[in-house]
Structure 1
């Protein structure tokens, strides 16, 4: 095997009862390798690309205590250790001042986050896995779902093992799951993101745990059966703030704030959002403070959302997901995604 860029722990004992102490002992991005009954094949799970999304590493720590013996070599990456350990622990998406690691998997690989992303890419090509599953937490509370970059029966079969919904996105943001589209050496490898639910939701850790257990137990990925009732949504749009627009989350409109979203807007991450669903209040800028991009860079806000007496509503039925109540994520990333129906 060629040399790896990142450190490797092979079949490690878990010496720390506390997951924070365990991550501190890792100290940096680390591959954790479990020998399999058949080490000629390899499967990869990545976690903690965002330091404030700990369910994957919490589930991994708990699962390793059981000393599992997978069917194939199973390789787990605990990625953004530095961000996770920035005080307060598990609250920083990225190292302060650094780029979002999960936006750095396309050239140029600038800065420390870019260098780490490039190291992950090079190591993945060495591992040559059968599949890669990237574990995340949603930025607000909500059900688990999977995300893929294309309609692919292999990805749909994988997604159906863990979630009831698959989002097929045509946004290209530089995320890890896009690597088969940009790295010829990984073009054969199905890569899927599993959003396990909110970081504080106990069930999110259970979803993450199911990924480790099932990927370890399956004899052959080609034997997986499609889930006929998997809900597949395509072509999501990103609703964002316009530059310089202020935002708050509250139960009443905030004076001097351009957009005040309902304090529990993340409740709409479940089910159908109808045209009479109140989403928040708009200040003097009105709808001009928002935009709704599709993957072709078109702002489709006017056909999707509307203002009625200073309040924000959908124009038609839609599915919302990844709606956050975190002001920093709203400013730096997006307010929510939606798929019109």
Structure 2
């Protein structure tokens, strides 16, 4: 195995950075840590213009919006459903703040602390399955979600809350992957007489009301259980 010049560019840049500033290893690390904290504070300030909740995930889709650093703090704002009047108000209110505040990257414009959701997991539909929305099972094989499931968005559900219906076997229709990539659907959900229930107390967020989005993206997000 060999190396080409570009393989060492990053290492050379780090060495040059240290030599130029005559910093010790500890000083250099503290500087980089300060830069990281500055980047996070700017991102948090940007998010707080719109909401008090932030989802931090390692899931990557290769989108431009995933690039975020001290120079370009970036966040994706999920305001809500397209037919939800409250989501429109949230978007407009946030944009007005963004366009009128003198410094949108400063936390001074808010005293609201952010609620963080770390290591979120996604409830996804398997490619071999399909989904519908209704108050009873509408498929011979697939998942049917209750039409009012959005009411659980950023709320808690318990083992007695009906979420929908499964025609067939649970793990042949839906999946949940933990942060290590392990299948965990049966740790969080179960089917009783064809009805889908949470297996434990869970918090849902980013619940998708559009079946097409649910097919292509996911049905909802949920945090990793303790």
Please tell me the TM-score bracket, short chain as reference. 0.7 to 0.9
User: Which is strand-richer, 1 or 2?
Assistant: 1
The secondary structure found in structure 2 opposite 1:277 is coil
TM-score by length of 2: 0.73
Q: Which residue of 177, 183, 196 maps to 2:79? A: 196
Residues 153 and 300 of structure 1: CA distance in aligned 2, closer, same or farther (over 3 Å): farther
Which residues of structure 1 form unaligned runs of 5+? 1-150, 181-185
Deviation of the 1:196 alpha carbon:
1.4
| Structure 1 segments (4+ residues) deviating >6 Å | none
Partner of 2:31: none
Q: What pairs with 1:109-258 in structure 2 (closer than 5 Å)?
A: 152-180=40-68, 188-221=71-104, 223-225=106-108, 227-258=111-142
The secondary structure found in structure 2 opposite 1:209 is helix
- Is structure 2 residue 186 aligned with structure 1 residue 311? no
TM-score by length of 1: 0.50
Q: How far does the alpha carbon of each residue in 1:170-204 deviate from its partner, in whole angstroms, 9 at most, with x for none?
A: 11112332123xxxxx6631101111121122222
C-alpha distance in 2, partners of 1:162/1:222? Answer: 13
Residues 255 and 178 of structure 1: CA distance in aligned 2, closer, same or farther (over 3 Å): closer
Contact 1:273/1:318 (CA < 8 Å) preserved in 2?
Answer: yes
Partner of 2:34: none
C-alpha distance in 1, partners of 2:198/2:60? Answer: 25
C-alpha distance in 1, partners of 2:81/2:138? Answer: 26
C-alpha distance in 2, partners of 1:175/1:160? Answer: 22
Q: Which has the higher contact order (CA 8 A, sep 6+)?
A: 2
Deviation of the 1:322 alpha carbon:
2.2
The secondary structure found in structure 2 opposite 1:205 is helix
Residues 228 and 326 of structure 1: CA distance in aligned 2, closer, same or farther (over 3 Å): closer
Partner of 2:19: none
The secondary structure found in structure 2 opposite 1:195 is coil
Q: Which has the larger radius of gyration?
A: 2
Deviation of the 1:298 alpha carbon:
2.5
Q: What pairs with 1:260-279 in structure 2 (closer than 5 Å)?
A: 260-279=144-163
C-alpha distance in 2, partners of 1:232/1:289? Answer: 30
Partner of 1:291: 175
C-alpha distance in 2, partners of 1:252/1:243? Answer: 22
Deviation of the 1:255 alpha carbon:
4.3
Deviation of the 1:273 alpha carbon:
1.7
Contact 1:287/1:306 (CA < 8 Å) preserved in 2?
Answer: no
Deviation of the 1:158 alpha carbon:
2.4
Q: How far does the alpha carbon of each residue in 1:42-81 deviate from its partner, in whole angstroms, 9 at most, with x for none?
A: xxxxxxxxxxxxxxxxxxxxxxxxxxxxxxxxxxxxxxxx
Which residues of structure 2 form unaligned runs of 5+? 1-38
Deviation of the 1:222 alpha carbon:
5.0
The secondary structure found in structure 2 opposite 1:329 is helix
How many correspondences in the alignment?
Answer: 186
Deviation of the 1:294 alpha carbon:
3.4
